[in-house]
Amino acid sequence: MSDTIARTPVLYLSHGAPPLADDRVWTRELAGIGARLDKPTAILIVSAHWEAAPLTLAATQTVPLVYDFWGFPERYYQVEYAAPGAPELADQVRKLLHSPATPVYDDPDRGLDHGAYVPLKEMYPDADIPVLQVSMPTLDPLKLYEVGRKLAPLRDQGVLIVGSGFTTHNLSGLNMSRDAGHTPPAWSKEFDDWAERALAEQDVDALIDFLHKAPAATIAHPRTEHFAPLFVTLGAAEHELDKADSVIEGFWYGLSKRSWQIG
């Protein structure tokens, strides 16, 4: 019997806020992704909620979560996700990314933030897969794409690479007083439609230049940190963009929750 591990797909997830856990549709969609994928040997996740330069690796052992949100009911601050640390994966990441010009740092006390644990708790509720969170050292799409390219060999070892953001993210347009599935504002729908088409056409150049090419880009992303993780995903899937599939579609309180699996 062969011990060869099939190349693991990569994901870009719109991760939602802590109340995602109360959304029966979205939680079912995320659980479905986890059920369809072969169980990864480890998960490497890049979240919109951690920018640190130089590139930094979070704790390689289980430490408390980072509840990096405010104004929610107390029960959201009681959530736990005690996934194992991934020290071996961290060693591999250092080897792939470290150079004199681009050092890799460690933050041994930093736990997973909600961009990481909110979707993973729905996908892998047993919390039995080692998880390593990696910071975004920049929001420059080209540089993040290159980070993804360098991390791509991990896929051949069963590592699931996840970029966790939000396909549209303008909190001033978030209206939680209405039903979660209400008709989205025009800017959110237009950007979502454009992003779907651009990836389906494998137009990486347009995606990288989204601030100039996409409709309503600066409204959909007043700051770009929630779209930025997509570029790590794209880099890690550089030669397989023809296999991109929208695994989650639709809107959540007006924001696009579109998520892609590639490979």
Sheet hosting strand 131-136, strand order edge to edge: 105-106, 56-57, 131-136, 42-51, 159-165, 10-14, 259-262, 244-248
Q: Is residue 32 part of a domain?
A: yes
The enclosing domain of 41 has a CATH number of: 3.40.830.10
152 domain residue, yes or no: yes
Give me the pLDDT at residue 102, please.
85
What is the pLDDT confidence band of residue 2, given thresholds at 50, 70 and 90? very low
Residue 51 lies in a domain: yes
Q: Is 154 left (phi over 0), alpha (psi -120 to 50) or beta?
A: alpha
pLDDT, mean of residues 207-227: 98
Domain count for the chain: 1
Contact 148, 236 (CB under 8 A): yes
Give the three-class secondary structure for 132: strand
The DSSP letter of residue 74 is G
Q: Is the dihedral of CA 97, 98, 103, 109 positive or negative?
A: positive
Q: What is the pLDDT of residues 24-44, one digit of tens each?
A: 999 999 999 999 999 999 999
- Strand 244-248 to 251-252 pairing: unpaired
Share of the chain above pLDDT 70, in %: 98
Beta strands in the chain, from DSSP E residues, in sequence order: 10-14, 42-51, 56-57, 105-106, 131-136, 159-165, 244-248, 251-252, 255-256, 259-262
What are the tokens at 192? 């979502």
Any domain includes 255: yes
pLDDT at 1 over 50: no
pTM over 0.75: yes
Question: Has residue 201 been placed in a domain?
Answer: no
Give the tens place of pLDDT for each residue, 78-120: 999 999 999 999 999 999 998 888 899 999 999 999 999 999 9
pLDDT in tens, 47-82: 999 999 999 999 999 999 999 999 999 999 999 999
Confirm whether 202 is domain-assigned: no
Q: Helix (H, G, I), strand (E, B), or coil: what is residue 237? A: coil
Reduced to 3 states (helix: H, G, I; strand: E, B; else coil), residue 26 is helix
Parent domain of 68: 10-182+225-262
In a domain? residue 89 = yes
Q: For residue 101, what pLDDT is reported?
A: 82
Dig out the tokens for 6 from the structure.
């099939």
Residue 220 inside a domain? The answer is no
Q: Which of 3-12, 149-158, 215-224 has the lowest mean pLDDT?
A: 3-12
| Separation of alpha carbons 223 and 210, rounded Å | 12
Task: Please give the Cα distance from 148 to 180 (Å, whole number).
Answer: 33
Q: In angstroms, rounded to a whole number, what is the distance separating the alpha carbons of residues 121 and 221?
A: 26
Q: What is the DSSP letter of 39?
A: P
Radius of gyration of the chain (CA): 17
